[in-house]
Amino acid sequence: MSTADRLIESTRELLWERGYTGTSPKAIQQRAGAGQGSMYHHFAGKPDLALAAIRRTSEQLRAKADEQFTGPGTALERIAAYLRRERDVLKGCPIGRLTQDPDVMADAALRAPVAETLSWLRERLTQVLAEGRERGELDASLDPETTAATIVAVLQGGYVLARAANSVAPFDAAVTGVLGLLTPAVRCGAGATGS
Amino acid sequence: MSTADRLIESTRELLWERGYTGTSPKAIQQRAGAGQGSMYHHFAGKPDLALAAIRRTSEQLRAKADEQFTGPGTALERIAAYLRRERDVLKGCPIGRLTQDPDVMADAALRAPVAETLSWLRERLTQVLAEGRERGELDASLDPETTAATIVAVLQGGYVLARAANSVAPFDAAVTGVLGLLTPAVRCGAGATGS
DNA sequence: GTCTATATAATGATAGAC
DNA sequence: GTCTATCATTATATAGAC
């Protein structure tokens, strides 16, 4: 891995663990095993490096999510697979946590990939839900767009509850709860006739 | 308002806006119109002042939530009133945001009120849901505990989505979505016989 | 109680040698 | 490309006068 890559990876880790304000250039350099000059040779400064890190994290997040969204099964099964996927729950969402960083939100360039990632997630889930509704897997009364927002919010909020409790239990409960709410939508609308 | 009170209020505002790491004693003093000596006379330091601020914010949050929980209407109506209550959505949750502050989570004293507040919210909603189920307002298959976790998560996650989008729309969508999912639980279980 | 030094470390960067 | 000064500013206090 090149020095530039190591700097980006270190920044990704530190942004996840400590946020933008809590991450100093010095800490990044030490974790990457690079000197000051090295960092400022490859990147204009902390914001420039953070942008590269956030973009890479955003790409990885989307790719991992798409694994579940494009996987096998009904819409509900794919959503359950996504929500129940193995996650570093106690570390939280590496993208969602940046919304609490005022310096990130204040910088249009840093903010854009955060906004795009969460919008993309909602859109992608909207598609999956709409598809499930068309196929009769989900109740016709279910609104794909608002339900997609709910599902993404449950994830993001589940991380918050887990971090507060220092336990994955509230995250798991929130996921179980929303899947429980989604399941009757199948029973009531499509009937208990199938499989 | 006393100097100590002004310091606590300034800290509350800054913790909400910029988090713990992003809030300096100097910024607190300037907003409170107090000098260094004044702050260190009343409080042992930044953690001590933050603790007082977090405790006060926690109390206010619980009191405001209880207004809706103990209000009139069915369980679902009270939950809808709570979720749809007027909020500073783009500022996020003053308690939930602290879960992203590593220095807060690393300090047992600072962490405790954060953990307690979110636990309390889940417990309180669990009670409201259990009550609604007993009264036949909600489907018997609905699990109060996991559903309560889902509702709190939707709130916390809704804030994240709103901040990312710099718009209240995703928050409102998430709330509408979860209320939509809760509503069929009434129709299916209790039947469309009532009112 | 409040104020003004004073102090130590960290932050975020620049300059220039190698 | 990487390294070692160097630098101005901020963070987080302490000390002691008033």
CA distance from start to end of chain A? 50
A101 vs B contacts (CB less than 8 Å): 19, 22
In a domain, B26, yes or no: no
* Within-domain flag for B12: no
Q: Which of A163, A181, A184 sits opposite B150 (nearest CB)?
A: A181
Residue A74, sorted as left (phi over 0), alpha (psi -120 to 50) or beta, turns out to be beta
Does B100 contact A122 at a Cβ distance shorter than 8 Å?
A: no
Rounded distance in angstroms from the CA atom of residue A22 to the C1' atom of nucleotide C9: 16
How many domains are there within chain B? Answer: 1
Confidence of residue B20 (pLDDT cuts 50, 70, 90): very high
Across the range B110-114, mean pLDDT stands at 98
**What H or E segment, with its residue span, contains residue B30?**
helix B25-32
Determine, yes or no, domain membership for B45.
Answer: no
Domain-located, residue B110: yes
pLDDT averaged over chain B? 95
Domain region containing B138 = 57-189
Question: For residue A181, is it within any domain?
Answer: yes
Q: Please tell me the distance in Å from B39's CA to the nearest CA on chain A.
A: 24
Mutating which of A83, A91, A116, A181 best tests the B interface, going by the most B Cβ atoms within 10 A? A181
Q: Residue with structure tokens 């709190």?
A: B152
Instruction: Cite residues whose beta carbon is less than 7 Å from strand D.
Output: A 3-4, 34-38, 40-42; B 21, 23-27, 36-37, 40, 45-47
A122 token code pair: 């909602």
pLDDT tens digits for range B75-103: 999 999 999 999 999 999 999 999 999 99
Contact (Cβ atoms closer than 8 angstroms) between residue A158 and residue A171: yes
Chain A: nearest CA to B25, how far in angstroms? Answer: 16
B62 domain-assigned: yes
The answer as to whether A137 is a domain residue is yes
Per-residue pLDDT of chain A (195 residues; tens, 9 = 90+): 999 999 999 999 999 999 999 999 999 999 999 999 999 999 999 999 999 999 999 999 999 999 999 999 999 999 999 999 999 999 999 999 999 999 999 999 999 999 999 999 999 999 999 999 999 999 999 999 999 999 999 999 999 999 999 999 999 999 999 999 999 655 564 443 434
The whole-angstrom separation of Cα B11 and Cα A195 is 58
**Amino acid identity, position A7:** L
> Is A43 contained in some domain?
no
B5 lies within 8 A of chain A by CB? no
CATH of the domain at B123: 1.10.357.10
Could you tell me if B71 and B150 are in contact, meaning their C-beta atoms sit under 8 angstroms apart? no
